[in-house]
Each structure stands twice: as structure tokens, then as C-alpha cells.
Amino acid sequence: AQSVTQPDIHITVSEGASLELRCNYSYGATPYLFWYVQSPGQGLQLLLKYFSGDTLVQGIKGFEAEFKRSQSSFNLRKPSVHWSDAAEYFCAVVPGEYNFNKFYFGSGTKLNVKP
Amino acid sequence: SQTIHQWPATLVQPVGSPLSLECTVEGTSNPNLYWYRQAAGRGLQLLFYSVGIGQISSEVPQNLSASRPQDRQFILSSKKLLLSDSGFYLCAWGAIYEQYFGPGTRLTVT
């Protein structure tokens, strides 16, 4: 079945440490990939997106993500986490050019930042 | 720039009561519109999407319905709420390969 998997439900990192959030998908050959962040009680904000080209994409707030086709992954990274990064992060996939209306979301990863 | 509004922000309703959540978008025309539900500890479930006035696609069978009476207005409704309808409801607008979210409505069914 087609799916978006975020294997880590909760992650805790210390402030200043590096971060990697995992995302794997099982959709078509040319997916369009996104990461969103949600602060408690708020809507979702787009962090970054990948459509084509350079497989390492830069986003807002110092985040980046790398698309690895061979691993069907799109992991989110940040070199040094700040306390304000504590939130829930969602990976999303649009399967391809014939399904541009529909986004499929992972179940999310909650990030806790220790001082 | 585009802005998306949702109201109310929070709502507490008894089981069996009706529901109407509203979403409006400013600063764009003919957007795709979406309703998602986010249950506690779970991801986003796409409920409905619309590519134009009166055009509604339902993703999952459920106790809810959606309508789009105007280009930039999207309404989520229910005739009789169930306990399982509790959750955080998000409206989003989008164009091709874009999607932007409103602030959400927290619905608690008691």
C-alpha cells in the first residue's frame, strides 16, 4: 500500500545538538516532497519542498532535507537545534503529476528540545 | 499575500448536535480547498477537497459533509456529531503542488 512513514513518534535532543527526522515513502517514481512544522494548537507551516534538481534542499529556519531516491527517503536535518524548534514535524508527499491535488501526510514526529 | 481564516477557533458541542465550520481564503482566486482532521497523537487525515465551486471530493466515508458555496469559502458540516468527530480541523488552500494551512479549529464533542 502507498504510505508515508515517519518512524520516530517522539525525539528529544539537547539545544545546540544536530537533528535528523526520518521520512520514507512508497509512492510513485517522481514524488513531490514536503516538510511542514506545527506548533501546538496552530496550523502547519511549510519548511521546505523538493520537486526536482539538486537533491539537497534548503528551507526556512535553518532546516534542510535530502532526497534519496534509492532509499525512498526525504530526511529533515538541522545542524544546531534551538529551543524554539520544539514542535511537531510532518512529512508530506504528492505522488506525481497526475495527483497534484492530493497531499499524503506522515503521522508526524514530535520534537522536544532539552535546555 | 494570501490569508486563510477559520472559525471558530474552538468549539465544544454535545453528541447529536449539528456542526458548521467555516474557512475563507483571501488574496487568491479559484484555489483548491481542503479539509483535514487531526486526531490526538495522529497525523492528518484528508477529509474533503474541492477544485471549484460546488465540486467536492470526499476521501473517506464519514459523518461529515463539505460544501463550497463561493470561490473562496469552504464549509464543513455535520447533521449529528459523534464522539469520534472530536479533533483538530484544518483547512488548507493550494494550487498545483502547493498547500497552505489555516490556524485550525479545535472541536470537542461531549
C-alpha cell at A83: 529551543
Contacts of B36 in chain A (CB under 8 A): 105
Query: Phi, psi at residue B28, to the nearest 5°?
Result: -155, 160
Handedness of CA A66, A70, A71, A73 (dihedral sign): positive
Handedness of CA B75, B78, B81, B86 (dihedral sign): negative
Smallest CA–CA distance, residue B37 to chain A, in Å, is: 11
How do residues B42-91 score in pLDDT, each as one tens digit? 788 889 989 899 999 888 767 899 999 999 999 999 999 999 999 999 99
Mutate to test the interface with A, among B97, B100, B105, B106 (most CBs of A within 10 A): B97
Mutate to test the interface with B, among A5, A23, A44 (most CBs of B within 10 A): A44
- What pLDDT, on a 0 to 100 scale, did the predictor assign at position A83? 95
The answer to whether B44 contacts chain A (CB < 8 Å) is: yes
Arithmetic mean of pLDDT, B1-9: 90
Beta carbons of A42 and B104 less than 8 Å apart:
yes
Percent of chain B at pLDDT > 70 equals 98
- What pLDDT, on a 0 to 100 scale, did the predictor assign at position A98? 60
- What pLDDT, on a 0 to 100 scale, did the predictor assign at position A28? 67
CA–CA dist B77, B67 (Å, integer): 8
Query: Phi, psi at residue B22, to the nearest 5°?
Result: -120, 145
The answer to whether A70 contacts chain B (CB < 8 Å) is: no
- What pLDDT, on a 0 to 100 scale, did the predictor assign at position A99? 63
- What pLDDT, on a 0 to 100 scale, did the predictor assign at position A48? 95
Residue spans of chain A under pLDDT 50:
none
**Option in B32, B43, B101 nearest A43 (CB):** B101
